[in-house]
Amino acid sequence: MKVLFVSAESYPFIKTGGLGDVAFALPKALKSLGVDVRIMLPKYLQIPEFYKDKMEQVDVFSVPVGWRNQYCGVQHLEFEGLDFYFVDNEYYFKRENAYGYFDDAERFSFFSRATVEFVKRMNFIPDIIHLNDWHTALIPAYLKMENYQHLGKTNIKTVFTIHNLQYQGVFSKEVLHDVAGLPEHMMVEDGLEFYGDVNFMKSAINFSDYITTVSPSYADEIRTPYFGEKLDGLLNKKSNKLEGILNGIDYHIYSPTTDTHIFENYDINTTEKKLENKLKLQKILGLPQDKDVMMIGMVTRLVSQKGLDLVTHVMREILDKDIQFVLLGTGDEKYHSVFHYYSMTYPQKCSAKLVFDNTLAQRIYAGADMLLMPSQFEPCGIGQLIALRYGTLPLVRETGGLKDTVIPYDKTTVKGNGFSFSNYNAHEMLHVLEYALDVYKDKKVWSQLIKNAMNSDFSWEHSAKEYLRVYDSVLEEK
């Protein structure tokens, strides 16, 4: 089977969030199952020169953009046994950031059409084109255009993955009409139109052969008005071609046994070394070194989606308890101000590092006793998966992938790998935190929960097999 995996980002070249991890780890896992998989990305300015220097030009052609043609180069690089192709156009991609520009509609229309043009020209004709989020969402529509019909005769199928329904790629109809080059009939209600604008993601939901999202619970949630972001009606209409497949994490990258970022390596049989990570983390953060105090960690974007309104609402009550609170992340200024205030007011109990620091993130995952993730919604979540791998118990709200991966502790069986609460309510969260503190006092039970967490298996192997099943079922359809 041949699969072209198209994404706006991928580790190790460019990564702004979880999509970057998925776009490397899932193709890698698919290849281990015998799939001939290639990855297509924009060639951004931020890609390290180390990689750019190794890229080889494989094609040059022009891409229609509205009334004009734009230059497109395609460069190739093999990395860890995977073939990556990079769409090169400095006008669109030689910028300081990957996203967030006034012409993003044009930039990613170009990227999508360049991908289809390249498929026309390359020796590799995929059975499946696997698309990810709104940046790639016009590809199924382009494949249905008259000048790409011969590709349809090769029976190329499309699978579209929604990583976060909140980001849909909504633009004015005039802007898209001028750059996308799609026929008028694709701009009407059953195609791109969305409350007078055009919506890239709506296009992919309409024109793709199959739709996935990144956890089973999130697939159910987005079919409701609360989580559906005005697309719940369409998603219900397409429900026979929609399912959630849980993301995994790369267990080679996230491994307490080999992680070079943490202070002491350990495994499920040497969890006492986790305490050494805790003591050394306390030291570098300027907190009192105390192996018995519960350390609660948060590694997160500082945005409301991550449940920070709940945390800030009861922050004084949290800090009044026998705990240490460690936060790492950047985001909205209002949260920067709040956590800076608490770190200054409670310097012996609260550390807030308002930066992005991958090494410190890994040290928190390894050294903390519990990871707090009270998200308002969470399509899958990666933090809780990393925490489980490192034996740090997640405390989460029961939503999306958090609900699917964190099993609440059951004191009658001593089973479970974390703690959870249901309603988006600060005091319900606080009540569960207080319960976790009581459990923490029983070191024998807590030690078993650490082992339960580390025995959880959320590697990519299982998820890749699920995607392979989806690919097979799509290809069987006439």
Placement of tokens 């020169």 in the chain: 49
Q: Which residues pair with 170 in a beta bridge?
A: 199
Task: Please check whether residue 27 is in contact with residue 57, taking contact to mean a CB–CB distance below 8 angstroms.
Answer: no
For 124, half-sphere exposure in the C-beta direction (CA atoms, 13 angstrom radius) is 21
Q: Closest Cα to residue 261, out of 320, 208, 328, 163?
A: 328
- 36, containing H or E segment: strand 36-42
Q: Closest Cα to residue 169, out of 116, 221, 112?
A: 112
Q: Which residues, 6+ apart, have CB-to-CB distance to 122 below 8 Å?
A: 58, 59
Instruction: Detail the residues annotated as belonging to a binding site for ADP-alpha-D-glucose.
Output: 15
Give the C-alpha separation, 459 to 184, whole Å.
44
| 409: DSSP letter | P
Placement of tokens 């297509």 in the chain: 40
Q: Omega before 126 cis (within 30°)?
A: no
Q: Closest Cα to residue 113, out of 91, 135, 81, 82?
A: 135
- 22, containing H or E segment: helix 18-32
From the number of C-beta atoms within 10 Å of its C-beta (0-12, 13-18, 19+), residue 420 rates as buried
CB atoms within 10 A of CB 216: 16
Instruction: Detail the residues annotated as belonging to a binding site.
Output: 15
- 250, containing H or E segment: none
Q: Looking at this protein, which amino acid is placed at residue 204?
A: A
Task: Please check whether residue 88 is in contact with residue 50, taking contact to mean a CB–CB distance below 8 angstroms.
Answer: no
Q: Closest Cα to residue 206, out of 140, 151, 154?
A: 140
Pairing of strands 242-244, 82-88: unpaired
Task: Please check whether residue 39 is in contact with residue 83, taking contact to mean a CB–CB distance below 8 angstroms.
Answer: yes
- From residue 189, alpha-carbon distances to 185, 199, 202, 224, 431 in Å are 9, 11, 10, 20, 47
